[in-house]
Structure 1
Amino acid sequence: MTAAGTTLAVPQMVRRWTQRAPHAPAVRQGSHTRDYQAVAGLARAVADRLTAAGIRAEDRVAVLADRSADLPAVLLGIAAAGAVCVPMDATHPADRLRYVATDAQARLLLTDGTQQVPPTLAGLPVLRLDTLAPVSGEVDFDGHPQQLACLLYTSGSTGRPKGVGVTHGALANCLTATAEALTYVSGERLLAVTPLTFDIAMLELLMPLTTGGQVEIAGREQARSGPDLAQLLATTTPRYLHATPLTWQMLFTAGWTGDGGLVALIGGDRVPPALGGRLAERVERVHHLYGPTEATMYAVSDIVPPGPQPGVLPIGTAIPGTRAVVLDRALRPVPPGTVGELCLGGVCLARGYLGRPALTAERFVPDPDHPGERLYRTGDRALVLPDGRLELRGRDDDQVKIRGHRIELGEIENVMSEHPDVAVAAAVAVPVGADQRLVGYVQLRPAASASALDTLRAYLRDKLPGHMRPTAIGALRTMPTTTTGKVDRAALARIRLP
């Protein structure tokens, strides 16, 4: 592990570039462009209004905003006020939004004025971004590196999402180390396509501004449409684009032929070797990135060579500020070539899970080789190749990646089981080409109505965001089980549903 080389928080790094080049372009969406001075002015206005509203260090501020050129300033303003950003998505079910706001103990809701505040959030004081005018001054941060910067909610096995607390030190390390791995230089532009609730959005919206670069923000529909995204790439000619394997495949399906000046970042899900090699043939280079939210987005990276790739695509080696080791169940190193659990350490680690000390202690454990430090047990199986790179070999538990989102199948099963017609529920991820398909299976109660599956689908639409809803649901007479009485997921995966 090498140090990423920063003792500054993100607002301080952006302030440095604002002082150097105040009128350099910083953020653009369509015809709307903000230079560094304008971003700092709006961020300062956000910070001042939050402070005036009584927001103090580590108070949580929920953010419900559409994709716009204002987003980086919103994130910087919350950080400058010492508050914790809690991203939300207006397309998520109201019950989920209410749970996140309650669990995070949000003190205030920041909106952009275009989003209707759901009734479930009506009790929160609201700050509308469209009522703020930029003010003179610079964005800064006078807190501690171990102070929380953001609270990112991921899927939870108890049926409820869990908040991962990312510190300013960890966030700054991730952005600095990733920029170093990419050889990102001032003036270069990154096209941001990731929803705000996905951890990678923090990297997309902030990393360019910490290096003197520029963020080009894709609209929500542009990011979801292959033809629209291909057109946006052609008209904006960014230097960098991060996307999940599914999005890159979506571009190819839309007829995108590549760009020899583009640096492609691919991660957030398993990367099929054929897709990685094909992408590398059509761009300047491809960075394969791996990392969980608990290690602040990305912790391991590799360069994908062009052409056909045999077997499994390696994920590479640890980025600066991060340790990546493969250990046995007793947290002892395993020999190269032996499969063990991938564990991550270093300044990249999140503080832990909000309000869940037992789970935090289970997943964030003392590092036996570095007294006083911790390791995060990822649950991913991995091995070290002869050249020192890491290769993934599946997961320890029932977490899966669907469309770039890390999902715990237990959360989906618990919600399905709450339906009155369902006796037993199970969810599995079934490989479909370069992606995975989320499929649900239920054993209905004897008194279930003939329309039980239809009502279950409607129920899930109200309870789960789109990426967590099964694309198909099948009713089984009895749920297959293993000899230990557990649901036989392997047997379920062999059942084909239309």
Structure 2
Amino acid sequence: MTATSTAIAVPQLVRPWTRHAPQAAAVRQGNQSRDYGAVTGLARAVADRLAAAGVRAEDRVAVLADRSADLPAALLGIAASGAVCVPMDATHPPDRLGYVAADAQARLLLTDGTQPVPPVLAGLPVLRLDTLAPAPGEVGFDGHPYQLAYLLYTSGSTGRPKGVGVTHGALANCLSTTARAVGYAPGERWLAVTPLTFDIAMLELLLPLCAGGQVEIAGREQARSGPELARLLSVTIPRYLHATPLTWQMLFTAGWTGASGLVALIGGDRVPPALGGRLADRVARVHHLYGPTEATMYAVSDIVRPGPQPAALPIGTAIPGTRAVVLDSALRPVPHGTVGELCLGGVCLARGYLGRPALTAQRFVPDPDHPGERLYRTGDRARLLPDGRLELRGRDDDQVKIRGHRIELGEIENVMSEHPDVAVAAAVVVPAGADQRLVAYVQLHPAAPATALDTLRAYLRDKLPGPMRPTAIGALRTMPTTTTGKVDRSALARIRLP
């Protein structure tokens, strides 16, 4: 029995496994565990209660729950009801929580009862998971593949988050495709470390259930601490772990030496080649994933081989159901090897931005080669390599101009990350009177000598031309991160170096 791409929604992928082995282990978090029968029973109860509350197809359900063993059942129940999941995070500022609830027009708030409802959400009806008893019956889905499955809010250029609407068909395709790509086998364990407000959490929490496996959910603090996560890996011995580059580096900094049976997935941010190579040398296999939320978690992937790495790590080729093309500003293909804008098409595409038709039309454009279909303009610059793989070449908004020179911040970060004393590196541009100033921040390895910054400056003088060398370098005990585990460059830009 395998996951199938013919299903149009997650409940249809999970149902065969519940029928096949209802007592098989499905979810574990700490000392809590759930088998397939228990997960389906709670999901059925969620779906029934939502229906009784008047929630209908594509009504929004805000989810504010801790990382418990019942979280996958909550997601499955929302999907089965036809409602749209709107992930929230209790650590986010109240203004953001209120804005997301209002913008999404949430009909109901689903919580696990472990924490009080924030005052800004007090006007919503509340459904508590801890008050529900498992209900008889299976979970299914009677909707259309183009129906929304979840609405994820990402940062917006206006300062207000924008809701990206992802469909059931796109989600089912990504889960099925990934299960086949990584060779997922029934019973295998996936360690989930990603916050629900980061779309890759859907992959971690739902793919194992769609393929007859188990999901092990790391607690919030375990997922954010290198030593704690390393200990959890040694105890649970998962077969799969997806993490951002910063989280993998956090593990190495904590002394983790790898795991020969682990399949590692890395994405969500720029992957320094040195880090990709180091990881490939210490695990069974490394999948490098690329893709924006607008393309349902990821759309392009590659295998990182052990050994020396190229100057820029290729992101690979489009996954099944997805198209990836490099185009010029008029949406015409560029010659092989020429840098252009990476555009994505196929079943992976989100429906668009909620309530923002102009922005949706600007980013989701008609596909000139496939009448009636669309392309998503990622804003990422890329080129096609001779072997058919794609290589990212930065972004238009990451390309800065310093004293008349165009500079790619990612190139600077890659060079800094290759220095033996540097664990994590980030470059930012900050105002300097009427001009701009290039500065960098590093998190050093624990064993780095006191002279590390001096040797790093000398190293950069040999590796980078003058305009690309940071005018100041600051050492941080811990690199600031966003709630999704990426380097928080906005926080770095607020730090002032001499």
**Shared fold, TM over 0.5:** yes
Q: Counterpart of 1:62? A: 62
Greater displacement, 391-400 / 325-334: 391-400
Pairwise CA distance, 1:184: 1.1
Indicate the residue corresponding to 2:370 in structure 1: 370
Q: Secondary structure at the match of 1:471?
A: helix
Q: How does 1:71-150 map to 2 (within 5 A)?
A: 71-150=71-150
Q: Is the 1:45–1:77 Cα contact (8 Å) retained in structure 2?
A: yes
Match of 2:229 in 1: 229
- Please report the TM-score for the alignment, with normalisation by the length of structure 2: 0.83
- Corresponding position of 1:36: 36
In 1, are the aligned partners of 2:345 and 2:374 still within 8 Å (CA)? yes
The residue type paired with residue 26 of structure 2 is: A
> Structure 1 46/316 Cα, relative in aligned 2: closer, same or farther at 3 Å?
same
Q: Classify 1:465/1:377 alpha carbon distance in 2 versus 1 (closer, same or farther; 3 Å).
A: closer
For residue 133 of structure 1, report the CA deviation from its aligned partner. Answer: 1.1
Q: Residue type of the partner of 1:93?
A: P
CA distance in 2, matches of 1:226, 1:194: 14
Contact 1:91 1:465 in 2 (8 A): no
Note the C-alpha offset of 1:165: 0.2
Q: CA deviation at 1:186?
A: 1.1
> What CA deviation, in whole Å up to 9, does each residue of 1:214-272 have, x standing for no partner?
10000000000001000000000000000000000000000101100000000001100
8 Å CA contact retained: 1:442, 1:473: no
Query: 1:438, 1:472 within 8 Å by CA — same for their partners in 2?
Result: yes
Aligned residues: 429
List gaps (5 residues or longer) in structure 1.
401-427, 445-460, 475-495
CA distance in 1, matches of 2:392, 2:429: 23
Structure 1 residues 138 and 101: alpha-carbon distance in aligned structure 2, compared to 1, 3 A threshold: same
Q: Which moved more, 1:41-50 or 1:176-185?
A: 176-185
Q: How many angstroms does 1:30 deviate by?
A: 1.5
Amino acid at match of 2:350: A
Q: CA deviation at 1:7?
A: 3.1
Summarize the alignment of residues 43-58 of structure 1 with structure 2, pairs less than 5 Å apart: 43-58=43-58
Assess, with a 3 A threshold, how the Cα gap between structure 1 residues 150 and 384 changes in structure 2: closer, same or farther.
same
Matches of 2:399 and 2:256 in 1, distance apart? 32
Counterpart residue number, 2:11: 11
Aligned amino acid, residue 29 of structure 2: Q
Q: Which moved more, 1:302-311 or 1:433-442?
A: 433-442
Indicate the residue corresponding to 2:24 in structure 1. Answer: 24
Aligned residue type for 2:45:
A
Q: For each residue in 1:421-448, what CA deviation from the matched residue of structure 2 results, as whole angstroms up to 9, or x when unmatched?
A: xxxxxxx99847444366765989xxxx
Instruction: Quote the Cα distance in structure 2 between the aligned partners of 1:293 and 1:229.
Output: 26
* SS of match in other structure, 1:134: coil
User: Which piece of structure 1 moves more, 22-31 or 84-93?
Assistant: 22-31
SS at match of 2:281: helix
Q: Which residue of 1 aligns with 2:216?
A: 216
Q: Would you say the 8 A contact 1:295–1:344 is kept in 2?
A: yes
1:399 and 1:200 map into 2 onto residues whose CA distance is: 27
Taking a change above 3 Å as real, the CA distance of residues 358 and 442 of structure 1, as seen in their structure-2 partners, is farther
2:491 aligned residue: 470
Q: Pick 1 or 2: higher relative contact order, CA cutoff 8 A, min separation 6.
A: 1
Cα distance in 2 for partners of 1:7, 1:233 equals 32
2:295 is aligned to 295
Structure 1 residues 171 and 250, CA gap change in structure 2 (3 angstroms): same
Matches within 5 A, 1:403-422: none
Partner deviation per Cα, 1:326-375 (whole Å, 9 max, x = no partner): 01111111111000000000000000000000000000000000001000
**What fraction of aligned residue pairs are identical, expressed as a percent?**
81
Give the TM-score normalised by structure 1: 0.83
Cα distance in 2 for partners of 1:380, 1:21 equals: 44
SS at match of 1:376: strand
* Residues 1:436 and 2:426 are matched in the alignment: yes
Aligned equivalents of 2:430, 2:57: Cα separation in 1 = 42
Aligned counterparts of 1:119 and 1:442: Cα–Cα separation in 2: 41
Q: 1:385-410: CA deviations, max 9, x gaps?
A: 0000000000123599xxxxxxxxxx
Counterpart for residue 382 of structure 2: 382
Measure the CA separation in 2 of the matches of 1:441 and 1:219: 39
RMSD: 2.2
Gaps of 5+ in 2: 401-408, 418-423, 435-479
- Report the CA distance between 1:497 and its aligned residue: 1.8
Query: 1:435 and 1:372, CA in 2 relative to 1: closer, same or farther beyond 3 A?
Result: farther
**Deviation per CA, 1:442-498, whole angstroms, max 9, x where unpaired?**
989xxxxxxxxxxxxxxxx9xx99947513526xxxxxxxxxxxxxxxxxxxxx726
Deviation at 1:176, TM superposition (A): 0.8
User: Would the aligned equivalents of 1:338 and 1:384 in 2 still touch at CA under 8 Å?
Assistant: yes
CA distance in structure 2 between the partners assigned to 1:231 and 1:465 by the alignment: 21
How far is 1:312 from its partner? 0.2
**One-letter code aligned to 1:114:** T
